[in-house]
Homo-oligomer: A and B are copies of this chain.
Amino acid sequence: MDFPWPDAGTLLDDVMTPLPVIDEDRLAANIARAQEYMIEHGLAFRPHIKTHKIPAVAQQQVDAGAIGINCQKVTEAEVFADAGFDDILITYNILGAARLARLMALNDRVATLRVVADSAVTIAGLSAAVQDKPLRVLVECDTGAGRCGVQTVQAAVDLARAIAAAPGLQFDGLMTYPAIGGADAVEAFLQDAMAQLAVAGLDCPVRSNGGTPDLFAAHLVPSATEHRAGTYVYNDRSMMRAGECGADDMAMEILTTVVSRPTPTRVVLDAGSKALTSDLLGFTDYGVIPALPGSRIVSLSEEHAVVDLTDCTVPVPGIGAQVRIVPNHTCVVSNLFDRMVFHRAGVVTRVLPVAARGTVW
């Protein structure tokens, strides 16, 4: 199947929609701004590749000064190892014989690979599967986000001891994916855990903190040695709400076309949940159309977005007009497309495979 990806040099006005596109200048500025902040505060930066899933973009992040990358799944890390990345943290409890075998093959070929564990079951599985090269393991801590992670400092210390005692494993530190605005809780947890680990005679060289919503507050967790973030690279509506970026920092837009105008206050665009996903992230509509102030994307089906223009303050676009959407959440959009189109000032610069799209394992 010959899908209609544009060539370099194509004008965005001429591409087939729906299509997410990345502004090269905004991308570069987002990468530079985050890295400069981390350097200013003496923090190591480890971008999460989930947002772009593209080795060439990760290389831009590393070229700017990132110490390595963060992946979520083994197959995702395999894609980036194939591309030559040699410092990878997989922030996931990895379980199951087949997946553990792949993980250990990865450990053998990546210079610095780390994983996390939040249970004795995960630690036992890692230890049983490890091959010649020791595997570095961080203890995942729940400092308020309510997802994975040990609930107490005592539990973290207990797991650290278990890792240190497990054949083939090396306890390498702590990792948390904190609640938004949770700097104080993270810092208190880390300080307490580091003190208790020192009493237990365990080194804790890595303290990995994370999240784009707290990226520019990372200095409020001085006990962290590194910060992980993904969404900052493209930014999105949810990041603007978090105060993380402004309207001019949105590197990703979704190009769409008006395909129907059934009533004076309703237009239908050709981008549905197959282009935007249905991620709301707390919003009540499915993205923002900057050029149509007051418009609301009130519903999505797979191939249609219904836009309510009742409160729109500018003329309604005609059928066939191109309309740009800033998505609620960029990472999930990347996961829907085989390739990503980059542009500068409306001219396509490069079209790259989204190499790690669909890597759920």
Contact = CB atoms under 8 A, between A and B. Distances in A.
Interface residues on A, range: 35 or more
A51 to B, nearest CB: 10
Given A72-B303, A331-B302, A16 B361 contact: yes
B304 A147 contact: yes
Contact of A93 (B14, B150, B259, B331): B259
A79 B2 CA distance: 10
B301 A147 contact: yes
Contacts of A331: 302
Nearest to A95: B320
Interface string A260-278: 1111001010110111011
A279 interface: yes
B3 A274 contact: no
A85 B275 CA distance: 26
Interface stretch (A115-123, A242-250, A289-297): A115-123
Q: Which of A271, A301, A302 has the most CB of B within 10 A?
A: A302
A4 B98 contact: yes
B302 A332 contact: yes
Interface string A65-97: 000000011010011001000000000110110
A36 B102 CA distance: 47
A280 B273 CA distance: 12
A260 B1 contact: no
Contact of A3 (B75, B277, B301): B75
A111 to B, nearest CB: 21
A261 B75 CA distance: 23
Interface string A91-133: 0110110110010000000000000001101100100000000
A151 interface: yes
